[in-house]
Chains A and B, each alone.
Chain A
Amino acid sequence: MIRADIKSKSFNGTPVLGRVAFEIAPGETLALVGPSGIGKSTLLRILAGIDADFEGSVERPDALAFVFQEPTLLPWRSVLKNLLLPHPDLTQDQARDMLVRVGLEGKEGLFPGQLSLGQQRRLSLARAFAQAPALLIMDEPFVSLDSETAEVMLRLTESLIADHRPATLFVTHDTREADRLADRTLTLRSHPGGAVID
């Protein structure tokens, strides 16, 4: 079980998050929605342990994966290395299988810059699912993709989540994405003491 009980989070004295408490059961998928700039990405970073400067507590598993808004790959390392470096226990064969799974077969030796944005996002997904995460966090994973590519990515993500069943929290502005992927939706709304969950 993933538990977040955030009492407050501020940047330079300005409150960003107020009381935000929720749980995610294993295998459950939650969509996080709310207006731009309200603190959704900040909440994800706290949950992932990237931002530890907040009041409250978060219980999270060690096996954690994060799909960033941008693919966030190592442009100077090959596609295969981009899978192997974050997962040193992964064998080359397992990594190649994962690349096949996300439709990147034959691209192992390329640099990320030689891939299209859609392919880079596939690689980012492959990296997230390479070692069966217990908690998957995604920050607008389909943003800035054309509708056709976004649909393909959505289907791929659906099938990967169905296969691995991680507890998942993802940010989206698209209700269609939320309906397709999520078991329930959390809405962040503004509040004088920082954003809170409805």
Chain B
Amino acid sequence: MQAARLIPFLSLAGLLLLWVVAAILTDDAQILPTPWTLVPLFNQELVSGELLTHLGATIIRVIWAFALAMTLGTALGLVMGRSARVNSWLDPWLVIFLNLPALVLIVLCYLWIGLTEAAAIIAVTLNKVPNVAVVIREGARALDPDLDAMARVYRMSWLTRMRHVVFPQLAPFIAGAARSGVAVIWKIVLVVEFLGRSSGIGFQIHLYFQLFDVAMVLVYAFSFICVMLLVEWLILQPFERSTRRWRTA
């Protein structure tokens, strides 16, 4: 059991080792610096406040886009999963948006709305909504019709039905969409910042890309990866466990 818990740490240590070996073999800090050379640069950015400022800007965009995409995608998926008629009307739209490259949506949003915060968040949201909708639609199709009938017979209010009958059944699908959503959204946010914002991790990566400073690109990228790992471990995994509590009781 304890050995199983050690596996993720050993796996990460293996990745770190691979990086060190690759850096030594490359023997060019401008191409691939060793992990320990990033530590002073990280400290420097942290102390100056630059890292936290840009990290904060990106996190705010991720939160907005995540909340909007999950809300809209869940509502859309639920309606499409419950109504064959709505599904037959909206499914072609979904297929188009699913296959529209993220970059195209981002560029179009910037062109139509302007290089604004709203355009950035809308672009990220539109990229993620179809994925959430597809996952939740599958969940809505799998809803137990007998529980639905029971809720109707006993005249449960809409709110009670949603909270106690529908959403507990959708919870595994919502958790899955949320986990993949966070992972995809922050990557798209970085592209959005790269292309059209003057703050955020993506903007900083763009800046250091122009300066060909691989070390600083890695400092900013890894900082945000660490934040996302914390979100995964402290928020998403506990949420997923709480939704499964009744199964393991």
A interface with B by C-beta (< 8 Å): 45, 48-50, 62, 64-66, 68, 70, 72, 74-77, 81, 85-88, 110-111, 113-114, 127
CB distance from B140 to the nearest CB of A (A): 17
A49 touches which of B153, B246, B247, B249 (Cβ 8 Å): B153
The answer to whether residues A85 and B153 also contact, given A75-B246, A76-B246 and a CB cut-off of 8 A, is: no
Q: Mark B127-151, 1 if CB is under 8 A from A, else 0.
A: 0000000000000000000110111
Q: How far is the CA of A88 from the CA of B156 in the complex (A)?
A: 9
The answer to whether residues A86 and B156 also contact, given A68-B150, A72-B146 and a CB cut-off of 8 A, is: yes
> Are B246 and A85 interface neighbours, CB within 8 A?
no
Interfacial chain B residues near A49, Cβ < 8 Å? 152-153
What does DSSP make chain B's interface, helix, strand, loop or mixed? helix
Q: How far is the CA of A88 from the CA of B164 in the complex (A)?
A: 13
Q: How far is the CA of A127 from the CA of B165 in the complex (A)?
A: 16
B interface with A by C-beta (< 8 Å): 146-147, 149-157, 160, 164-165, 168, 246-247, 249
Q: How far is the CA of A135 from the CA of B152 in the complex (A)?
A: 15
Enumerate 10 A-B pairs (CB-CB under 8 Å) in ascending A order.
Answer: A50-B153, A64-B153, A66-B153, A74-B168, A77-B168, A85-B156, A88-B160, A110-B249, A111-B249, A113-B246
Q: How far is the CA of A81 from the CA of B156 in the complex (A)?
A: 13
Q: How far is the CA of A110 from the CA of B246 in the complex (A)?
A: 9
> Are A68 and B149 interface neighbours, CB within 8 A?
yes
Interfacial chain B residues near A74, Cβ < 8 Å? 147, 164-165, 168
Q: How far is the CA of A114 from the CA of B249 in the complex (A)?
A: 7
Interfacial chain A residues near B157, Cβ < 8 Å? 88
